[in-house]
């Protein structure tokens, strides 16, 4: 059974803080993704990675960076959190052109 685990379910951070969201998968998937989900806007891709140390910008990368030092772990970093980054963040992983498995999501509130 594939498992994608995000480090926090709920997170409250202050404006300007550096925020780390962690995601771990246990199925040796090469692809890993970070999305944010906002009402009416669907799942918007922030960054993705297809191998260790490889990263590609998605559709909304501004204000975010990522790190993939090990195949099973993909981290999303908010360098200086702002209130407009309050959102639900979802991590996913997959093999090439196959089903993507999602984590449970992290509800981030920036105050």
Partner 1 sequence: GENVEQHPSTLSVQEGDSAVIKCTYSDSASNYFPWYKQELGKRPQLIIDIRSNVGEKKDQRIAVTLNKTAKHFSLHITETQPEDSAVYFCAAPEGLTGGGNKLTFGTGTQLKVEL
| Helix, strand, or coil (residue 86) | coil
Of 12-20, 67-75, 79-87, 94-102: span binding partner 1 (CB under 8 A): 94-102
Nearest C-alpha neighbor of 100 from the set 50, 40, 38: 50
26 lies in the binding site for partner 1 (CB under 8 A)? no
Nearest C-alpha neighbor of 49 from the set 18, 63, 70: 70
We find the least distance from the C-beta atom of residue 85 to partner 1, in angstroms, to be 19
What is the sign of the dihedral through the CA atoms of 107, 40, 15 and 25? positive
Of 11-19, 33-41, 61-69, 73-81: span binding partner 1 (CB under 8 A): 33-41
- Residues within the interface to partner 1 (CB under 8 A): 30-31, 33, 35, 40-43, 45, 48-51, 54, 56, 58-59, 90, 92, 94, 96-100, 102-105
């Amino acid at each position: 059974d594939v498992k994608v685990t995000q480090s926090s379910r709920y997170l409250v951070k202050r404006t300007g803080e550096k925020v780390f969201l962690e995601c771990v998968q246990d199925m040796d998937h090469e692809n890993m993704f970070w999305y944010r989900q906002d009402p009416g806007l669907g799942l918007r891709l922030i960054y993705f990675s297809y191998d260790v140390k490889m990263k590609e910008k998605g559709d909304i990368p501004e204000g975010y960076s990522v790190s993939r030092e090990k195949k099973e772990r993909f981290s999303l970093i908010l360098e200086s959190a702002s209130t407009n980054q309050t959102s639900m963040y979802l991590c996913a992983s997959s093999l090439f052109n196959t089903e993507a498995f999602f984590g449970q999501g992290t509800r981030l509130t920036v105050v």
